[in-house]
Structure formats: structure tokens, C-alpha cells
Structure 1
Amino acid sequence: MHLQTLLPILSALGTTAAITSKPAHLWATHYNGNVYSLTLKDNDLSISQTLNTCGDMPSWLTLDAHTHTVYCSDETGTADPSTHGSLTALHVRPDGTLREGAVAKTVGGGVSSIIYESAAGKKFIAIAHYQGSAISTFALPIKQNQPSLQAFHFNLTRPGKVDQQDSPHPHEVFLDPTGSFIVSPDLGADLLRVYAIEDGPSGKLSECPSVNITYGSGPRHGVFWADNTDRSADGSTNSRQTAAVGETMLYLLNEIGGTMMAFDVSYPRSGCLSFEKTQTLVPYPDSVMPEGATPAEISRIGDQFYVSIRSDQGFEPSDSMVVLDRSPVDGSVRLRDSASAFGKVPRTFVINRAGDLVAIGNQASATVAIVRRDPKTGDLGGEIATLQVGEPGKVGTAEGLSSVIWDE
């Protein structure tokens, strides 16, 4: 989803020599109601703009690189229809700063979004509403006070295992490798919700059968792997296909259970996806997640997977990032190594398009840490720069830094 490419690393992994002569831009959201534009030049990361926008709780940013628009989801609100969140269009200036555009009301609790296309090439955005217990969609570009295209509201069919599972909590939306399906891990209902993008120009979604995840797992985020398409660092593709050819797998991260699951994915003639679980593991050294620690974000490049671990204090006073390798034989994954997140509660992280830098958004410390990644080995290395972005948040609360993305 990014266009700009950083220049290659000019020094060995972990050194402090300058890495780029051309500025790179990032954006970060904070639960204080601000969206920040950041600039990385040489080894210096700085704030170039602080914009009060995107409601009271900006939580997630999605870039439409072709229109130079960033869409910001606001986590304000709940499933109560008297409350609401918002979706804000932010237009990107040449220097990486943002200008507020149209704002649309949404179901409350928006925490993740993904841009998708209809068969006719028209763009839409889907949003996962954690506290709102819903998934909604909007046609793009949004207009002021535009209504949603669709809104799917959920109820629990059985009590959850823990208090956090008091109601359905969709935590993410992401595309399958063909661009024809949207998948949403529901932390509250222990479900993987699946939607087919309808044929034609409407951009509407049709519900497919949901996938039951082990009781009490609390699925949070996931990423696909496929051997049949060219993919970006987040596992997505740039073109819509009508059928999958070759092997496809899904790797699912479970917050409450502290596990990672692998699934074989198939495309039966029924028109929906089919999932068969092949592995469950604890993505942590010695296969034991520390008490109070939870996996948060997952991403991959090729056969290397990266998972952020919140509140493990594995590199005290910082939490951890773990690196896992995928077996080419059966698709199983195993832990390779762990590294510092250079902050507390790494809620999100993103790998740049060149694959040589990782931006880690540490929620509780409210810092963005830029870390080296070796494109050849996949190893995470030393810290290049860390920047305080807004005030720190209390661990376990909706305070602090909420997301970070590259402008590429």
C-alpha cells in the first residue's frame, strides 16, 4: 500500500550510520485525538505536523496511495446506536503533512480498516468495530456525512470464556490473496468471520460461514500466505483475481489464548473460503507466554513472520518482537529469535516496502521506534531512532499511541 522507497542500508546491521539521504514520511495516531506526521531523515525522526482530527480516539490509518488519501478510524462509541465513531479522509500534501477532508459517522469502536475493490474497479473501505460489535463498509472516496453502504451487527451465541469476551469484538479486517474475500477475527466471539465481495460494481459483501476458533482463544489479527501471487510486506495483493491457483494459508494470532494458528485455505465451488487448521503454537521462547503478556500484531515478508508481544518485558524496560520461519514443506512455523520492541506495549508495527526498516508503535510508552531489518536474513537489528509521540498511556487502557504506517 506504499509508494516511496527508502535507499538501501549503507552500514552493517545495528550500526548508527546514516541510512537515507531522502526523507521518509510516516503517520501515527494517538488516543489523545491527534494524528501526527513524522519525518525520518538520516538517523533522525521528528514530528512535522500535529493535527487534531479523527474524533476523540484516532485508532487506525489506511492509505489509498493512488488518491493520496489516508483514512482514519475513530474508536469512540459502542454498540449503543446513540453513540458513534467516525471515518475521516485526510489528504496527503507533497511534504507528507495532512489536510482534513470529509468526515462520515460510523458505528462506534472502529479499530481496523481495509480498502477493497469491486469487480468493476470501484473502491470501498471495510471497518472492524471492536466495541461496536460490527463490520461496516463505505464507498470511496467518502463525502461529508456519507451513510455506510452496509453494516453487519453481531450478537454472542454463547458466553465468552473471559470478561473481555462480553460481546462480539471484531478486531481486524483484511483481504485474502485474491482480493475477493474479507476476513475478520472476532476476539469476543472466538470466530473468524468471512465475507465474499459480490460480483459487479456494488462493492457489497455477502456473509460466508464463519470459522469456529478454539474457545477462549480471542483471535485478534491474521495474515495470509500464498505461492501464486506477488505480495506486499503485509501479505496483500494489488489485483483482484477470480480464482486462487496454488497453495494458500492463513496465520492467525490469538490475543487471549496467547497462540498462533496455521490454516490451509481452499476455494470450493460454493463461492466461499474453507479453512482447515494445521498447527497451533505459542509464538514465544520455550513456548511459554509470560503471565500478563499477549501477542498483538502479525506481519510477514515471504516466509518470515513477525509478531509483537505486549507487556512481556522481554528486554526490560521494553517488550518484545519475535521472528518466526515458515517451513516450505508443510507450512508450519517455528520461532527463530526475539528482539527488543524498544518501548512498552507494541500495539502495531509496519515494515517498509524495501524491507529494511520496521516502524514499531509502542502504545504505553507512546513512542515510534525505527528498527533495522536485514532484507537477506530477515533478522531484526538495532534501533535507528525513537521518538516520543504524545503522552504515554497506562498499560491496559485505551491510552497512548494507537497506530503507525509508512507513507509509501
Structure 2
Amino acid sequence: MKKSFAFLFIISIFTTVQAQENNINLIVGTYTNSCDSKGIYVYNFDINSGDFKLKNISESIVNPSYLTLSNDNTFIYAVYENGDQSSVGSFEFNANSGKLSLLNKQSSQGANPCYIINDDKNVIVANYSGGNISVFGKKNDGTLTEAKQVIQHFGKSINTQRQESPHVHMVYFSPDKKFVLANDLGNDKVYVYSYNASGEKDVLKLKGTISVTAGSGPRHLTFSKNGKFVYVLQELNGGLTVFSYAKGVLKKIDETTILAKDYKGTFSSADLHFSPDGKFLYASNRGEANTISIFKVLKNGKLESKGQTSSLGKGPRNFAIDPTGNFLLVGHHYSNTIVIFKIDKTTGSLTDTGKKIELCAPVCLVFGKI
């Protein structure tokens, strides 16, 4: 009898440990000015089943529309997108409980920040309306210094409604962390900055720029898994441009579109992510389209369209793929849902799991370990 009890006890422990290993954190930033949201939400997400459970919610924060998790999983940095009053916040993060505790915040030094990245030394922010980039140092306790560098962009482009001035929409580390790339939707340029992580003032130094199609509006970019190619998504014309990449130098090699053939409705390209194995590239599209476009990545870096799938909501501004590549989660800014799709790893196709998280204006999804 004792042996049977011991056996069952061991099985119980094994099952519990296995269940815990299947769980990761899903951290979600939201807009708080359009519906009932307190800011940042933390969910337990099961990477095998796609099931989820709310773990914790931040205390009231104004529009934490984009966030980033530190490499050691102990701090979260978030922008407070709030016009000229915008700021950047540092939070201590308990990965087990999901609790966030505000440490400090600093002025973003530019209106309406819309993207944020971090490494062991710095936090770097793209300020959309300000048209600039701000760099903040990180102290040992996770708090932020005042901005130690602010880089102002200049110029405009041909879309008089959206490109009347510079609009930095993204900052992104190169795989080797030697460069930071920045998309400017307002002047149709991609900037490449040399990155000196330990710099006191000159953390970023301009290496060069490359122009994209006038009026296209570069929004997001990402690197191929091997780091040899960069893919730039244009918000205003639906374009997806492929560049070769080496040592901070971009060279255009191809261009395609995320739009379906003969599509006539309104659109607004948004987000861009690779499957973890690097075989497929996904892009979201808003407006009347509300789709996820799927591309197979060819050996030469070029893309082969595999069509579009409805995102099953309105305003798929951001989406995330879990680290195993089992699921793709789409945050819908306007229909207030996170829809969970199953990924076919062979074909790249998406299937609705029937599971979705009801949440006010989810606009940033980040996965983290527990």
C-alpha cells in the first residue's frame, strides 16, 4: 500500500512539474483611454494547449502601449503613450506571481512613444510624434536614468496627412547588438546607428540611412534567423521590402506586398514576426482587411506568399508567436480581444483554436519565462 502511495505521489509531482514547464508568461500592454483597462496584464499561457489564466494586473497606468522584458526576466520597461506628457516606466517583475511594482519613470523626451527595447545597459525608445529616439541608462536596481541621449530626425515625405514630419516607429537591435536600426514612417527612411552600450552620451552614432519607396511609410522590421536579411513592413502602401544585411549595411534585393491580389479596401500594415524556426514570416494588416499574411522564406531570403488569413477581429496592431512556435496570438486594438491561432509548422497556415482573451485594447504582446 505504501509503495502504491509513493508511486502515485511521484507521478503527481512529475505531472505538476511537467505542467509548470508548459507554462510561460504572456504580458500584455494596452490602451487605457478607450475602454476599461488598468494597463499591463499578465497571463499564464500553456504552450501545449493554448489555455490561459489571468495572473496579475498592474496598478493604474496611462496607455502602456508598448513594453519590453529584461533579459533576466526581472524587470519590465514600458512607454506611457500620452502626448506631450509621455514617459517611460521601470517595473520590478515577479515572474512567478506576475506582480509588477513601479520603480521609477522618466520623461520620454518626445511625444507618443510607440516602441521600446532594452539590453543589460540601456533602454531605447522610439517617439512617434516627437520624431526622435531617446536612450536611457539602466541602474543596477532596474531604475532608469534620465535620458542620456536624444536623437532628432528631420524631413517629411509625399503623404501630407501622415508624413508631414518625422515619425520614428521602431528601434531594433541587430543580432550581434553592434547596431540599432530605426524605421521612420514620416520621412520614408531606415536609419542604422552604431551602438556603444557603455557610452555615457554618444550611445548611438549614425552609420547611414536607406530610403524606401516614397509614401510607403516604414513601420516595423525584423531580421532573418541567420541575420543575413532584414524585412521592412510599410504601413501606408502594404509593401514588404527585403534587404540583404552585413555589418550595418542594407541593400535592397526584393519587394512584395502583404495585400491579397486585387484587394480594394482600406488597409494599414502593422506588425511583423518570424516563426521560431525561421521558415515562415507573418504580417498583420488593419483597416478593412484585418488579416495575417503568411510568407514562406526562400533560401535566397526572398518571400513566397502563402495567402492571408482573417485575424478574426478588428485592428490587429500587434501579434506574438510563442517560443515553441505552436501558437500565434493576435491582439485586436478595436474589438478588444486576443485571438489564439494554432500554427501548422509544415505549411505555416493558421487555424482558429476557438480560444480568445477578452481584454480592452491589447496592443503589445510579450512572452516571458516563469
Bin for the TM-score computed over the shorter chain? 0.7 to 0.9
- Which one of 29, 44, 68 corresponds to residue 39 of structure 1? 44
Q: 1:293 is aligned with what amino acid? A: F
Q: Quick check: 1:356–1:372 contact (8 Å CA) kept in 2?
A: yes
TM-score (norm 2): 0.84
Aligned to 1:50: 57
CA deviation after TM superposition for structure 1 residue 44, in Å: 4.0
Aligned to 2:257: 282
CA deviation after TM superposition for structure 1 residue 143, in Å: 6.3
Instruction: State the distance in 2 between where 1:199 and 1:364 align.
Output: 37
CA distance change for structure 1 residues 95 and 144 in 2, over 3 Å: closer, same or farther? closer
Count of equivalent residues: 339
Instruction: Verify: 1:162 aligned to 2:160, yes or no.
Output: yes
Structure with a larger share of its residues in helix: 2
CA deviation after TM superposition for structure 1 residue 226, in Å: 5.0
Aligned to 2:4: none
CA deviation after TM superposition for structure 1 residue 71, in Å: 1.0
Larger relative contact order, structure 1 or 2 (CA cutoff 8 Å, min sep 6):
1
CA deviation after TM superposition for structure 1 residue 293, in Å: 1.1
Aligned to 2:80: 74
Q: Quick check: 2:82–2:112 contact (8 Å CA) kept in 1?
A: yes
Trace 1:71-150 onto structure 2 (pairs within 5 A): 71-78=77-84, 83-107=85-109, 108-116=111-119, 122-141=120-139, 146-150=145-149
CA deviation after TM superposition for structure 1 residue 20, in Å: 8.9
Aligned to 1:14: none
CA deviation after TM superposition for structure 1 residue 284, in Å: 2.7
Instruction: State the distance in 1 between where 2:230 and 2:260 align.
Output: 22
Structure 1: where are the runs of 5+ without partners?
1-18, 117-121, 229-247, 268-272, 314-318, 391-399
Q: Quick check: 1:162–1:216 contact (8 Å CA) kept in 2?
A: no
Instruction: State the distance in 2 between where 1:73 and 1:253 align.
Output: 22
Q: What CA RMSD, in Å, does the superposition of the two structures yield over aligned residues?
A: 2.4
CA distance change for structure 1 residues 212 and 148 in 2, over 3 Å: closer, same or farther? same
Instruction: State the distance in 1 between where 2:222 and 2:52 align.
Output: 29
Q: 1:35 is aligned with what amino acid? A: I
Task: Give the match's secondary structure for 1:163.
Answer: coil
Q: 2:368 is aligned with what amino acid? A: D
Q: 1:221 is aligned with what amino acid? A: H
Trace 1:257-406 onto structure 2 (pairs within 5 A): 257-267=237-247, 273-286=248-261, 288-301=262-275, 302-313=278-289, 319-328=290-299, 330-390=300-360, 400-406=361-367
Q: Quick check: 2:168–2:185 contact (8 Å CA) kept in 1?
A: yes
Q: Quick check: 1:290–1:312 contact (8 Å CA) kept in 2?
A: no
CA distance change for structure 1 residues 162 and 325 in 2, over 3 Å: closer, same or farther? farther
CA distance change for structure 1 residues 65 and 92 in 2, over 3 Å: closer, same or farther? farther
Over the matched positions of the two proteins, sequence identity in percent amounts to 22
CA deviation after TM superposition for structure 1 residue 123, in Å: 1.9
Instruction: Verify: 1:186 aligned to 2:170, yes or no.
Output: no
Instruction: State the distance in 2 between where 1:309 and 1:349 align.
Output: 11
CA deviation after TM superposition for structure 1 residue 370, in Å: 1.8
Q: Quick check: 1:183–1:192 contact (8 Å CA) kept in 2?
A: yes
CA deviation after TM superposition for structure 1 residue 290, in Å: 3.7
CA deviation after TM superposition for structure 1 residue 62, in Å: 0.5
Aligned to 1:240: none
Task: Give the match's secondary structure for 2:208.
Answer: coil
Worse overlay, 147-156 or 248-257: 147-156
Instruction: State the distance in 2 between where 1:263 and 1:289 align.
Output: 25
CA deviation after TM superposition for structure 1 residue 74, in Å: 1.3
